[in-house]
Amino acid sequence: MAATTIEWTEATWNPVTGCTKVSPGCQHCYAERMARRLQAMGQPHYARGFEVACHEDALLLPLRWKKPRRIFVNSMGDVFHSRVPEEFVRDVFEVMARADQHCFQLLTKRAARLAELARRLPWPSNVWVGVSVETADYLGRLDHLREVPAAVRFVSFEPLLGPVGEVDLSGIDWVIVGGESGPFARPMAGSWAADLRDQCLAAGVAFFFKQWGGTRKKQAGRLLEGRLWDEAPVEALAR
């Protein structure tokens, strides 16, 4: 387990590391920057930098963590990448089913492969799944997400790079919104985030405002129109 500063989770687990860029939100990938640093430090899981790699030695780690936690799966990669064998994806899901003291949160931009594999994977109630959407051009990822029989389906609009317009939130339990952070951060307009919040309020969907982002993330803070938005899918958390 690795501790994390990601506001909507408590720990990270990376049985897969590495990825490739698929859409504009990937342009300034924080995980790629981190992987290069870990490679330079000699961390064995990053010997090939940000190339996609599956780590058998990391598979069983959640079974050793007795205290229940919300765990972000693959903060440093994408388990639904085409270079991750279906057999290994199934191994990840079997571990999550066994480690039922935890809540696992998976996030992907590869929504089509997620929907394809979902029919052949177990979906215990402690496994949540989400898709990332950075602009209106990628709202189609939500259609694939709705095909997945997960206990909680969520959408991460981060980095939010433009207005997304009207969003079909049917079948969606949770929305996370955030601006881009890091040295090359692209700005996010407050109206883009506020519009998504208003749609969530109207649809009864939990809304979480993660950050404004920017080159000085901490200074920018997390207030949206004067308040924190830390909502979560309460019914799922109570299970």
What pLDDT is recorded for position 85? 98
Whether the Cβ atoms of residue 187 and residue 214 lie closer than 8 Å to each other: yes
pLDDT of the residue at 158: 97
Q: Model confidence over 102-156: pLDDT tens digits?
A: 999 999 999 999 999 999 999 999 999 999 999 999 999 999 999 999 999 999 9
- Given pLDDT bands bounded at 50, 70 and 90, which one contains residue 220? confident
Measuring CA to CA, which residue among 88, 63, 62 is closest to residue 77?
88
Give residue-wise pLDDT tens across range 23-39: 999 999 999 999 999 99
Which pLDDT does position 1 carry in this prediction? 60
Look at the block and give the residue holding tokens 């309460």.
234
Please state, in angstroms and rounded to a whole number, the distance separating the CA atoms of residues 12 and 22: 22
The pTM (predicted TM-score) of the whole model is: 0.95
pLDDT at 215: 74
Q: What SS3 string covers 25-51?
A: HHCCCHHHHHHHHHHHCCCHHHCCCCC
pLDDT greater at residue 216 or residue 32: 32
Q: Which pLDDT belongs to residue 239?
A: 41
pLDDT at 82 over 80: yes
At residue 237, the 3 state secondary structure works out as helix
| Calpha distance 126→159 (Å, rounded) | 26
- Of how many residues is the chain composed? 239
What is the band of 238 on the pLDDT scale with cuts at 50, 70, 90? very low
As a whole-number percent, the residues of the chain with pLDDT over 70 amount to 97
Task: Provide the pLDDT for residue 214.
Answer: 83
**Domains of the chain, residue spans:** 2-238
- Candidate from 3-7, 51-55, 160-164 with smallest mean pLDDT: 3-7
Give me the DSSP letters along 81-128: STTS-HHHHHHHHHHHHH-TTSEEEEEES-HHHHHHHHTTS---TTEE
Specify the pLDDT at position 5: 83
Instruction: In whole angstroms, give the CA distance from residue 167 to residue 175.
Output: 11
153, 157, 163, 169: CA torsion to nearest 10: 10
Buried residues in 80-117 as b, exposed as e (16+ CB within 10 A)? bbeebeeebbebbbebbbebeebbbbbbbbbbebbbeb
Position 235 scores a pLDDT of: 53
User: How many Å apart are CA 110 and CA 16, to the nearest integer?
Assistant: 14
Q: Indicate if the pLDDT at residue 2 is higher than 80.
A: no
Q: Dihedral, CA atoms, 144, 150, 151, 154, nearest 10 degrees?
A: -40
- Which one-letter amino acid corresponds to residue 173? D
pLDDT at 217: 76
Q: Whole-number mean pLDDT of the chain?
A: 95
Residues 6 or more apart from 170 whose CB is under 8 A from it? 146, 203
Looking from the CA of 12 toward its CB, the CA atoms found within 13 Å total 17
